[in-house]
Chains A and B, each alone.
Chain A
């Protein structure tokens, strides 16, 4: 039993200091120094190595861990989102997409992330180092989006995404995703229809009135550009595609 306040005050302080140091500070030490890297690293003889470091045997028989060398000429990963996609990430944040969509892939065997085609390898800390706001997410009311830009639905230049954002229920029956029709504009068709106009079946109940068409606003274009940019198709030394 405690005799005085010493223990109490020390305890109140150290309880939080302990987790602060243990989690936040040490995370900063471990993750703060990560840099983009090539998918494969080389040892000092030019052979490809696995992981981020290799072991070298010294003359006296001792082994030391040596960081791998960049594979010069190979592209560096991860890569930062650029231009319109970066603006689109801001729309993603403003609209609160992350409350239903995560952006992380768990290792094969833990959940069904791999089997559902959300990514062919586990996402690791280095994958996120260039993101100013990390949106891992904690809900999967909708599917994970870490790799959405690499899926079949993204291979038509964003047409599918525009239709889906305009009215998710039109594309996927029973979807609970909110419609983002307010990011689209209805305009009268002047002569030829706009090349950006959404290809909505005119007989469907989602179609605009005759003589009108639906075109994406700048926000919608940016958001789709961001979705298309979400590609997780590269390897890192510490995380290789599952065979």
Chain B
């Protein structure tokens, strides 16, 4: 492959990724997310693992159901 061919190839690859990016962008725009930015930080909590409840500790010999 000559170096001009190489350049064309590189631009071609960049083009593919560009198309993917545009596609993803359009799709994402339709969904219109991120209106309430800071609230997202709490999105990892829910009823089953609520905020304010610690989730991990060293295992003990006790059966887990004993203390739930």
In the complex, is A directly touching B at CB under 8 Å? Answer: yes
Q: Chain A interface (Cβ within 8 Å of chain B)?
A: 1-6, 8-10, 12-13, 16-17, 20-21, 24-25, 28-29, 32-33
Q: Do A32 and B33 touch across chains, with their CB atoms under 8 A apart?
A: no
CB <8 Å contact, A4 and B32: yes
Query: Which residues of the other chain, A, contact B6 by a CB distance below 8 angstroms?
Result: 28, 32
* Residues of chain B whose beta carbon lies under 8 Å from any beta carbon of chain A: 3, 6-7, 10-11, 14, 17-18, 20-21, 24-25, 28-29, 31-35, 37
- One of B7, B20, B31 near A29 (C-beta < 8 A): B7
A-B contact count (CB 8 A): 53
Residue of B nearest to A17 (CB): B14
- Residue numbers in B under 8 Å from A10 (CB-CB): 21, 25
Chain A interface mostly helix, strand, loop or mixed? helix
User: What are the residues of chain A within 8 A of B17 when measuring CB–CB?
Assistant: 13, 16-17
30 contacts between A and B (CB under 8 A): A1-B37, A2-B34, A3-B34, A3-B35, A4-B28, A4-B29, A4-B32, A4-B35, A5-B28, A5-B33, A5-B34, A6-B25, A8-B34, A9-B21, A9-B24, A10-B21, A10-B25, A12-B21, A13-B17, A13-B18, A13-B20, A13-B21, A16-B17, A17-B14, A17-B17, A24-B10, A25-B7, A25-B10, A28-B3, A32-B6
